[in-house]
Homo-oligomer: A and B are copies of this chain.
Amino acid sequence: MGRWEPDARGRMMRAAIELFTERGYEQTTAGDIAGAAGVTERTFFRHFRDKREILFDSSDTMGRNACEAILAAPDDLAPLDTALAGMVAGGALLTGRRDYSRQRAEIIAANPALRERELLKLARLTEGVAEALRARGVPEPTASLAAHTAVSVFHVAFGRWVGDADAPDDLADCIAEAAAVLRALT
């Protein structure tokens, strides 16, 4: 990116959330988002494949961060704790972005196609976590179950973080609380 576009990506992401919230997702074009962020439409498409992708950009980064943390975890950490450490590391990307995350969640909840996309991203995250666990020597079906369980804990914790004003302000604390409830369940 050129130096005349400081944080163009972040500006486009924030502009997209504002426009999707104000006008509706369907009624907003990539050109509208570029205009609101003060960049050209060409710059928009250099960063994002389409207007849908601008909402899911963080998902891929989150998955990568989660898997890196899993691969780097201490050898003797138990599979579920390892997967949960991955969730905390992935979720760290959202630190300070609770309002953004809440607005994004509301946009997605209101649009079935976006909901399907979100589910697909969560399924890919689950597969990535299971693969990272297998790379550490965790056998099946333990790896898949730990991955599903950790992603479920993340999903429930994230839902509380964006949907419940009384939830802890730190997503990692919400994850820890949900993990404790899970352990009490089994």
Contacts and interface: CB of A to CB of B under 8 A. Distances in A.
Contacts of A182: 145, 149, 186
A183 B181 contact: no
A104 interface: no
Contacts of A186: 80, 149, 182-183, 185-186
Given A116-B116, A141-B160, A185 B79 contact: yes
A152 interface: yes
Given A119-B120, A148-B152, A142 B181 contact: yes
Contacts of A184: 142
A178 interface: yes
User: Which of A79, A116, A123, A145 has the most CB atoms of chain B within a 10 A radius of its CB?
Assistant: A145
Contacts of A146: 185
A145 B184 CA distance: 11
Contacts of A155: 148
A33 B13 CA distance: 46
A80 B185 contact: yes
A71 to B, nearest CB: 19
A145 B141 contact: no
12 contacts: A116-B117, A119-B119, A119-B123, A141-B177, A141-B178, A142-B181, A142-B185, A144-B156, A145-B181, A145-B185, A148-B148, A148-B155
Given A141-B160, A149-B149, 8 more contacts: A80-B186, A116-B119, A141-B156, A142-B181, A148-B148, A149-B152, A149-B185, A183-B186
